[in-house]
Structure 1
C-alpha cells in the first residue's frame, strides 16, 4: 500500500541488551520500516546506542523520541548528536523535549519552572550548533558559548516533543516539526497539524514533520491486549503527566489504551489511514504483542512506506 505517511517503530530498550536493540532495528530494516526510534529513559543512552546500532544496520533512518533537554547542556547534546550523524552517514533525527515535572524535578533535581521559556532558550543555542555555527547565547535559563568540531557531520533533522499550543508553535518556528505521544487522530487533525503548520509558515519554514507515536498490535484477541496494555499505561494521563491528560481529553477518551491501535489487519490499517488523512507525516509504532503478533504488526506498519 502506498502512503504519504512514513513508517517507524519505537525500539523497546527496557530490559534489552545492546545486541538486543541491534536485532530489533535489524528486524525493522529487513521488514522495510523507514525509521527506528529510541526513547531516552533512565538507563541506556539513546544516542550512544544509535551510533553503534547505525554502524551495524545500514540504510534505516534513526531517531530519538525523545532526549530530555534539562539534564544535557546544548553544547553537550549537539556534540553527541553530530557524532551520531558522523558515525551513521547522516541518518539521525534528533527528537528532544522538556519531559515532565515529576521526572525533571524528582529524578534530576532541576526546576521545571516555565518549561516553554526553557525550551525556547535551549533551541536558540542548540539549533545553530547543529548547523555547525558558533554560538554566544546568554539567556535567563542558560548560557552557551562556543563551537563544535565534529568532522564529517551534517546537521541532523530536529523535532520537538510538543502537545500544547505554545509548544507546538515553538516547534513550528524553530524546528523541523513535532513528535507526539498518546494523541489520537482527531487531535492530530484539528489541533497539532494546523498549529505547527501555521507557525512554520509564518516563520518561512517548510511544511513541518508531524511524527505520531502510539502503541500498535495486530491481534485476534483484542480484549486481552487491551487488558495487558492497560496495566502498562495505568499511570498515563494522571496528575504526574498533565500534558498527556490534556491530549486524551481533546480526543474525548478516558485512557491511553483508548488511543492505542489494536485489532486485526483490517482494523489496524483503517486506523493508521486515519492518521495519514489527518496530516501525520510519520507514524511510530510501539509494538507490545507476542512475537507472532509483533511480526504481523511490523509487516503492516512497513507497508506504509
Structure 2
C-alpha cells in the first residue's frame, strides 16, 4: 500500500532513534503480570509502555505506579483513562503520585471512552462528549501543571489546590476531525485507536494542524495505534484478528467508528464486521525484518509515534520476540 509522504513536519525536528518512537501496549492483565511485562520490556530496551483502561478492570495508573518502583527508565503512559470514571481533580491527584515516583516518565492519555461500557458501568450519560472533554482537559491541565484550579462550566464547577504540580504531558483520544482539532488546540498529543493510516494522514493530521494554528502553537504529536503479528500467513493473521477482536463488530456497529472507517475508504458490513482489506491495513504482519521495515515506513509518512498492540498468540515466544524487536530498533 502506497501512502504519500506528508511534507509538513509537526513534531520535534531532532531525529530520534526508531525505538524512541515506538511504544508497546500491555493488555489488561492482572497487576503482577503487568509489572513483569513492563520490567521485561525495559530490560529489552523498549522505551515506552502504554496501558489501556478496561471498564471496570484494574486501575491502570495504579498498576503503572507499582511498575515504576521496579522499572526505572521506561516511559509509562495510559491509553486511555476514561474521563467519565474519574473527576479531573481526582485524576490529577492520582497522576501526581506516579509523576513523583517516575519523574518525567508519565504521559497521561485521557478520553471519553466507548459509550456502551461507560454508560452501563458508571451510569453516566455520555452527552456532548467533545465539549465534556474540553472542560475536563482544561481542569486537568490547570490542576497538574499549576497545582491550582478554579473553574465553572457546563459539566464541572471546581476549586482545588493540590500539594504540588507536575508538567505531565496530557494526550487525548481522537477519532473524528473535531477531536483531532481539539488535540491540536489544547492537548500535548492525540492517541488514535484502530484508525487506518490513510485516515490519519489525510484527515486527522490536517485537523490537528488546523487546531494548532487556531491556537497559535506547534502541532503536537500524533500517536497511532497499530496491531502487530509475527506471522507471515495473511489468512492466519486475519483469523487471529477476528478471533481476538470479534467485537470488531462492536466497533463497526458504533456510528462514530463506522463513519471513520467509511471516510478512510473501508466501510464495514451491515452487521458491523470488518473486511479483509480493513484488517490488512490495520495489522502489520510478517517476520521481524518485514515488521521493522513497515514500522519505519509508517513513521516516515508523517506519523509521530506508533503504539504497538500485539495480536495475542498461542505461541509463548511471540511477545518476547516482538518486545526484543522493538527494543533493538
Instruction: Report the counterpart of residue 184 of structure 2 in structure 1.
Output: 172
Instruction: Report the counterpart of residue 51 of structure 2 in structure 1.
Output: 38
Instruction: Report the counterpart of residue 215 of structure 1 in structure 2.
Output: 227
Work out the CA distance in 2 between the residues paired with 1:70 and 1:17: 23
Instruction: Report the counterpart of residue 9 of structure 2 in structure 1.
Output: none
Instruction: Report the counterpart of residue 12 of structure 1 in structure 2.
Output: 27
Work out the CA distance in 2 between the residues paired with 1:105 and 1:242: 16
Work out the CA distance in 2 between the residues paired with 1:82 and 1:246: 37
Give the conservation status (yes or no) of the 8 Å contact 1:236–1:245.
Answer: no
Q: Deviations over 1:268-297 (max 9, x none)?
A: 234323320232211111112322222332
Given the alignment of the two structures, is residue 185 of structure 1 paired with residue 200 of structure 2, yes or no? no
Shift of 1:232: 1.8
Among candidates 130, 145, 161, match of residue 144 of structure 2: 130
Q: Deviations over 1:149-192 (max 9, x none)?
A: 14xx5221100001111111111111101001111221121112
Q: Deviations over 1:10-50 (max 9, x none)?
A: 1122xx33221111111211222111111111211100111
Total equivalences in the alignment: 300
Instruction: Report the counterpart of residue 198 of structure 1 in structure 2.
Output: 210
Given the alignment of the two structures, is residue 250 of structure 1 paired with residue 263 of structure 2, yes or no? yes
Give the conservation status (yes or no) of the 8 Å contact 1:177–1:196.
Answer: no
Aligned-residue RMSD, C-alpha: 2.1
Give me the TM-score of the superposition, normalised by structure 1. Answer: 0.91
Given the alignment of the two structures, is residue 27 of structure 1 paired with residue 49 of structure 2, yes or no? no
Given the alignment of the two structures, is residue 292 of structure 1 paired with residue 314 of structure 2, yes or no? no
Shift of 1:240: 4.9
Give the secondary-structure state (helix, strand or coil) at the position aligned to 2:172.
Answer: strand
Shift of 1:303: 4.1
Gaps of 5+ in 2: 1-15, 269-273
Q: Deviations over 1:188-235 (max 9, x none)?
A: 211122211231233133331111112211224443232122122122
Give me the TM-score of the superposition, normalised by structure 2. Answer: 0.85
Gaps of 5+ in 1: none
Work out the CA distance in 1 between the residues paired with 2:264 and 2:19: 23
Structure number with higher relative contact order (C-alpha < 8 Å, ≥ 6 residues apart):
1
